[in-house]
Chain A
Amino acid sequence: SQQGEEDPQALSIQEGENATMNCSYKTSINNLQWYRQNSGRGLVHLILIRSNEREKHSGRLRVTLDTSKKSSSLLITASRAADTASYFCATGGTNAGKSTFGDGTTLTVKP
């Protein structure tokens, strides 16, 4: 199956709530990246976390990485309607930039 599998596939929450998405992968990685995609658009990079890092923050985003469990999570705090999008994790290997994407989590934030 695909390297990088997100869970859940779909998530619907109210504005102001936190949203947590998980990503599991199978092989060794150099880094793990999270991206956001609005419908019909390209992907936007959110956070890259390296294999020797355990946690990283960027604004309302918090990413954790557990290499022993081969999993990562993305937490969006105090969600807004504008956070509605699909979120993908991608695992980076040694090949420059060649990352493998999961199937994504579709997040809907209701106003």
Chain B
Amino acid sequence: GAVVSQHPSWVICKSGTSVKIECRSLDFQATTMFWYRQFPKQSLMLMATSNEGSKATYEQGVEKDKFLINHASLTLSTLTVTSAHPEDSSFYICSASRGNDSPLHFGNGTRLTVT
């Protein structure tokens, strides 16, 4: 089946630094990927839709200058948390789909801790 790889699985960084998270679709081309944030015992909150070759579409309330998304190829999307603060600590997950009417394939998530 389809596999989406997300890296790193966890990262600890100091306040004020930036962190990059990668999401790769390993066996299919993904023109669209999705980035989510999940708080403990809560659902996934869609942050943005990453579009290959164009700007990402951000959900309401998500700061695009804070969470930079780059989708430079059909198999790779990156999320950069810029100038991270402790409140950015969370579980970030990416997903990709083959297209309409297809299920989402998820990465294993990245646990970000900002100290």
- Tell me which residues from 39 to 93 in chain A have a Cβ below 8 Å from any Cβ of chain B: 40-45, 48, 50, 88, 90, 92
A20 proximal to B (CB < 8 A):
no
How far in angstroms is the closest Cβ of chain A from B89? 14
Encoded as 1 (CB less than 8 Å from any A CB) or 0, chain B from 92 to 109 comes to 010111111111111111
Number of interface residues of B (CB under 8 A): 29
- CB-based nearest B residue for A93: B100
B43 proximal to A (CB < 8 A):
yes
Q: How far is the CA of A100 from the CA of B34 in the complex (A)?
A: 11
Is there contact, CB below 8 Å, between B93 and A42? yes
Is there contact, CB below 8 Å, between A97 and B43? no
* Residues of chain A within 8 A of B44, CB atoms compared: 43, 88, 101
Is there contact, CB below 8 Å, between A99 and B104? yes
Number of interface residues of A (CB under 8 A): 28
Is there contact, CB below 8 Å, between B104 and A97? yes
- CB-based nearest A residue for B91: A40
**Choice from B43, B46, B99, B103 contacting A33 with Cβ under 8 Å:** B103
Is there contact, CB below 8 Å, between B91 and A97? no
How far in angstroms is the closest Cβ of chain A from B42? 7
How far in angstroms is the closest Cβ of chain B from A65? 14
Is there contact, CB below 8 Å, between B91 and A48? no
- CB-based nearest B residue for A90: B104
**Choice from B6, B46, B91, B107 contacting A100 with Cβ under 8 Å:** B46
- CB-based nearest A residue for B36: A101
Q: How far is the CA of A48 from the CA of B102 in the complex (A)?
A: 8
Is there contact, CB below 8 Å, between B43 and A103? yes
Give B contacts to A, CB under 8 Å: 4, 6, 31-32, 34, 41-44, 46, 49, 91, 93, 95-109, 111
21 CB < 8 A contacts A-B = A30-B101, A33-B104, A41-B109, A42-B6, A42-B93, A42-B106, A42-B107, A42-B108, A45-B105, A48-B101, A48-B103, A95-B100, A96-B100, A97-B97, A97-B98, A97-B100, A98-B49, A101-B43, A103-B43, A104-B43, A106-B41
